[in-house]
Amino acid sequence: MKLLAPLLGALAAVAVAKNARGYPSLSATAASQTSPARDGAVFFFRLLIQRYVAAECPDALFFNSTNSAFYADCAQFNYACTNGSAISFNDTGGVPPPIDCDTKQVFELYFQHDSLTGPIVLPGVVEARIFSFYGSSSYNKTAAEMVAIKDKEISSIDFPDLVNITYDLNIRDMHNLASISMPKLENIGGSARIYLRDGPAISLSLPKLFHVKTDIDLFGKIDALEFPALISTPQIKVNTTGDLDCIAFAKSVLNATEWPVYGDKSEDGNSSVVCNSKKASVTMHPLPSTASRAGLGFCGNLMLLAILVAGANSVV
């Protein structure tokens, strides 16, 4: 019975420390125990429960209104272990995860369900394999149904700790999106595609983004656009019905692009930067110096191929 006492005490502590979702709170169990034996037992049972919870997290997380809390925990707290398993470990209290399970697990994140509304905020996610937001499809919906859905769709996207996207960033058909915030995002290993339709005017700034492997393609009502740290991407295309100053934007990112553009359909692959707005339509490419490599370094001379100052009806 003496041998069972620490284990029974641990079970009681875990039961008391459970949060609203039924899983144990690390900070609560740690704070409530003083016995080393009981602490060890609590940690043992916590690991058992954490491993069970982690096993329920698929590699691809498709968020909706009913699973969003659980999947958010997966994205925030799951760690991969050296033996191939995984645990869920809340390290926000400053306690590090076990030494054999100290690598944050990386997921594909999909936010594509009609039930998702309002702001989406998910701190603690440093890396994602795929980052995908899709708005409501008009398929089999009447115009009245689409109007009713539009005002309830996701209004803002905020990932304050996201640094790396292994493959693609996709944000499409978001009718109500007014804000995108990823202040720490540095690298996208594939394409960045943001297509916003019929939504409010948006200003987009990715202050630390320095590399996008494939291309950047943006569409929607964009009034301001800033990539101040960008040093490498093959091509940037922007089509906006907003008030973006295309000439200033194109000049600000031109030296980050490549020329000629591989696979470009235009003559000589000259469309390194294409920007169309109410104010202007611009197609530009950089003139590389003999000592530099495409996308990483160019001389200061810019070759402006076409600037068509246009009115409100000139957007392509």
pLDDT digits (tens, 9 = 90+) for 133-154: 988 666 566 667 666 666 678 8
Give percent of the chain with pLDDT exceeding 90: 47
DSSP label at residue 7: H
- CA-closest candidate to residue 191, choices 132, 276, 245: 132
Q: Which residues contact 20 (CB under 8 A, 6 or more apart)?
A: none
- 316 — pLDDT class (breaks 50, 70, 90): very low
Strand-pair category, 187-188 with 211-212: parallel
Q: Which residues contact 105 (CB under 8 A, 6 or more apart)?
A: 54, 57, 74, 78, 79, 80, 86
Cα–Cα distance measured from residue 154 to residue 113, given in angstroms and rounded to the nearest whole number: 10
- CA-closest candidate to residue 295, choices 230, 213, 234: 234
pLDDT at 267 over 60: no
- What is the reported pLDDT for 150? 66
DSSP label at residue 232: B
Greatest mean pLDDT range, 100-114, 227-241, 299-313: 227-241
- 198 — pLDDT class (breaks 50, 70, 90): confident
Mean pLDDT of the 269-281 span: 89
- Which residue's structure tokens are 């008009």? 138
> Got the DSSP string for 20-56?
TTSSB-HHHHHHH---HHHHHHHHHHHHHHHHHHHHT
Cα–Cα distance measured from residue 113 to residue 111, given in angstroms and rounded to the nearest whole number: 6
Cα–Cα distance measured from residue 76 to residue 105, given in angstroms and rounded to the nearest whole number: 9
Burial letters for 232-265: b for 16+ Cβ neighbours within 10 Å, e otherwise? bbbbbbbbbbbebbbbebbebbbbbbbbbbeebe
Q: Could you tell me if 189 and 151 are in contact, meaning their C-beta atoms sit under 8 angstroms apart?
A: no
pLDDT at 253 over 90: yes
- What is the reported pLDDT for 29? 33
Report the mean per-residue pLDDT for the chain. Answer: 76
Q: What are the residue boundaries of the structural domains of the chain, listed by start? A: 1-55, 59-91+98-200
Mean pLDDT of the 32-59 span: 52
- What is the reported pLDDT for 269? 65
- What is the reported pLDDT for 74? 94
Q: How many angstroms from the chain centroid is the CA of residue 309?
A: 34
For residue 76, what are its two tokens?
A: 């925030």
pLDDT at 160 over 90: yes
**Would the pTM count as exceeding 0.85?**
no
pLDDT at 315 over 70: no
